[in-house]
């Protein structure tokens, strides 16, 4: 039976060590007016004989169904040799023109290191089909609903299989007045210009792994480019961070980026941020500002809080991947968490550690003294165990000087007006967790210098016990924090931590700035016997913060400000 196809190719895909593989090919039979794509999902350990039987069966069913609809037009008699010719499919596999034993498994033939697809062909109804294994392809790609001048537009939900983003090509086009497209540049992202306002963008992506390329896929913006609001305050801060710092100095950013799940709630609309337009609080509007702000800081280490899982996967990781590697930990109770990114060209990741404070308070022996003081208070202990707060410790070695190791702590402590005692308990646990990690690094690397940097949104003002714990090493049992809620008082608990720590920004008037609340909640702590601050980037001015009432706003994507500090190693 004549089979005509534009591309006589069988495409096969299998994830590394996957039990299953996917198989795809297309046929066209003019006599039956049939064009059909066949997709199979089979086990890699099944024999070629089983695979060929399944292929023939599926093709015969498809052709038979089509023949029933068209045989009267073709004047084909039922049961005639001509009918059998249309529905009887032959399928075989040849290697260098010779038959391949059908008792081989698909894995043995197609997915071993010696596989050479140019030497093997499928014969379908006598027609040779070439084989392509793990050709790069794009599983999904889209462009944002909101695109603004001088802010990056980049692929969303970009999932590339069997290829590398850095080796794929991205070509941008702008719509013209004649309904066509004009080429405007290449690259993973594009920054629209003023002349692009009112026009749509199109992206053509051709996936590649450096050896072979797959089929191009396109995406078009649903809405035209719009003019971005000005001035954007973080751009003034970018003037200070135009260039990168070099060893022994490194730049740290800590930033609560405001999770989407909190920015668009009813409480956000009516109570928290009613002064900020709904569209400006939506993630499609804020995402480009967040990544643009972060990239402009030219940091070596970036600690983020309130990171939605989808924001990490589809925005931050994708956009920052070429330079940064990221470690993400979701909270135990909600779909947002904390992320630490580090410059992959500067640091080697030695290890990363995670602690779910609520889950581990009664299970991890390092918290035994804390648990002993609160376990009999049912209301308090259940409240603490029910919180999903997570802490990270990422251990990094300088590529240029591997004996210099930095432990980066990152967390976002619980927020509630009556929870000073909860936060202090969590702060004490976080400190113990970091002590354990640092001690392990010192044991494993006894000849190395180990420093500690602690970032996060502690939801705690400088007058509270957490600041005392980290900067003075002590949170005494007499603190007022321990009695912040009736019925949950913590009695007789003193917290200590052994590091000589200071706050890079000291205690600024505010790092969080909303209409109802303004204060210092975010910190970059550093071990001052190993490190010193060489510079910090000034925060927004009062005029910038008040320009649109408060944060967030149409020019500020979060209710917090990023802290940016340059730290340098001091001599032993």
pLDDT block averages, 10 residues each, the chain of length 572: 62 92 86 80 96 91 72 56 63 90 94 82 87 92 96 92 94 95 97 97 96 93 97 98 97 98 94 96 97 98 97 92 94 96 97 98 98 97 97 97 97 97 98 98 97 98 98 98 97 98 98 97 98 98 97 98 98 61
Helix extents (H) in 397-494? 420-444, 465-472
Domains delineated in the chain: 9-133 (no CATH), 137-220 (2.60.40.2700), 233-569 (3.60.10.10)
pLDDT of residue 336: 98
411, β-bridge pairs: 391, 456
Q: List residues with catalytic annotation.
A: 457
pLDDT of residue 60: 83
Q: What angle is formed at CA 111 by the lines to CA 109 and CA 112, rounded to 5 degrees?
A: 80
The Cα–Cα gap between 301 and 341 comes to: 6
Q: Helix, strand, coil: what percent of the chain each, to 5? A: 30, 35, 40
Question: What tokens were used for 308?
Answer: 């939605």
Strand stretches in 245-300, DSSP E: 249-256
Exposure letters 385-419 (e unless 16+ CB within 10 A, then b): bebbbbbbbbbbbbeeeeebbbbbbbbbbbeeeeb
Own/partner contacts of 173-177, CB < 8 Å, gap of 24 or more, are: 173/201, 173/202, 173/203, 173/204, 174/199, 174/200, 174/201, 174/202, 175/199, 175/200, 175/201, 175/202
Q: Are the beta carbons of 319 and 331 closer than 8 angstroms?
A: no
pLDDT of residue 53: 94
CA-wise closest residue to 429 among 504, 371, 483: 371
Q: Is 107 helix (H, G, I), strand (E, B) or coil?
A: helix
Instruction: For residue 30, count CB atoms less than 10 angstroms from its CB and return exposed for 0-12, middle for 13-18, buried for 19 or more.
Output: exposed
Which whole-number Å values give the CA distances from 120 to 51, 108, 131, 413, 477, in the listed order? 15, 13, 7, 59, 76
């Amino acid at each position: 039976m004549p089979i005509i196809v534009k591309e006589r190719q069988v495409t096969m895909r299998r994830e590394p060590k996957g039990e299953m593989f996917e198989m795809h090919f297309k046929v066209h039979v003019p006599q039956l007016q049939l064009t059909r794509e066949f997709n199979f999902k089979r086990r890699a350990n099944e024999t070629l004989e089983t695979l060929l039987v399944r292929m023939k069966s599926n093709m015969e069913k498809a052709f038979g169904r089509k023949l029933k609809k068209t045989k009267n037009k073709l004047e084909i008699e039922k049961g005639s040799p001509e009918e059998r010719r249309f529905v009887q499919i032959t399928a075989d596999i040849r290697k260098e023109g010779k038959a391949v034993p059908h008792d081989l498994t698909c894995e043995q033939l197609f997915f071993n290191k010696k596989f050479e697809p140019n030497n093997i062909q499928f014969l379908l109804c006598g027609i040779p089909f070439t084989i392509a294994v793990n050709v790069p392809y794009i599983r999904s790609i889209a462009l944002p609903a909101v695109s603004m001048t001088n802010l990056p537009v980049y692929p969303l939900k970009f999932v590339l299989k069997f290829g590398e983003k850095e080796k794929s090509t991205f070509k941008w086009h702008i719509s013209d007045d004649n309904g066509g497209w004009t080429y405007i540049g290449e690259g993973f992202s594009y920054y629209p210009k003023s002349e692009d306002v009112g026009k749509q963008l199109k992206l053509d992506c051709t996936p590649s792994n450096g050896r072979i390329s797959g089929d191009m896929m396109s995406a078009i913006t649903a809405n035209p480019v719009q003019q971005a609001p000005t001035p954007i305050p973080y751009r003034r801060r970018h003037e200070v961070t135009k260039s990168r710092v070099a060893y022994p100095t490194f730049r740290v950013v800590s930033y609560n980026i405001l999770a989407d799940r909190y920015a668009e709630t009813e409480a956000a609309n009516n109570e928290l941020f009613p002064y900020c337009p709904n569209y400006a609080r939506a993630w499609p509007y804020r995402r480009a500002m967040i990544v643009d702000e972060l990239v402009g800081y030219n940091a070596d280490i970036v600690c983020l809080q309130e990171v939605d899982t989808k924001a990490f996967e589809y925005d931050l990781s994708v956009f920052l991947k070429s330079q940064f590697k990221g470690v993400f930990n979701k909270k135990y109770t909600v779909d947002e968490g904390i992320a630490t990114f580090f410059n992959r060209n500067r640091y080697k990741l030695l290890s990363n550690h995670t602690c779910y404070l609520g889950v581990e308070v009664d299970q991890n022996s390092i918290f035994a003294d804390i648990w002993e003081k609160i376990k009999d208070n049912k209301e308090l202990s259940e409240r603490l165990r029910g919180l999903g707060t997570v802490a990270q410790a990422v251990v990094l070695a300088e590529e240029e000087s591997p004996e210099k190791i930095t432990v980066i702590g990152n967390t976002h402590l619980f927020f509630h007006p009556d929870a000073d005692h909860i936060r202090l308990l969590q702060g004490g646990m976080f400190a113990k967790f970091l002590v354990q990690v640092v001690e392990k690094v010192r044991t494993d690397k006894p000849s190395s210098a180990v420093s500690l940097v602690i970032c996060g949104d502690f939801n705690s003002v400088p007058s509270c016990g957490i600041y005392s714990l980290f900067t003075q090493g002590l949170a005494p049992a007499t603190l007022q924090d321990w009695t912040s809620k009736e019925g949950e008082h913590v009695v007789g608990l003193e917290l200590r931590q052994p590091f000589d720590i200071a706050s890079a920004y000291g205690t600024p008037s505010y790092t969080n700035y909303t209409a109802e609340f303004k204060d210092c909640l975010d910190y970059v702590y550093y071990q001052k016997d190993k490190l010193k601050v060489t510079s910090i980037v000034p925060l927004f001015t009062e005029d910038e913060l008040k320009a649109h009432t408060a944060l967030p706003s149409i020019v500020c994507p979060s209710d917090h400000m990023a802290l940016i500090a340059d730290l340098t190693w001091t001599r032993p």
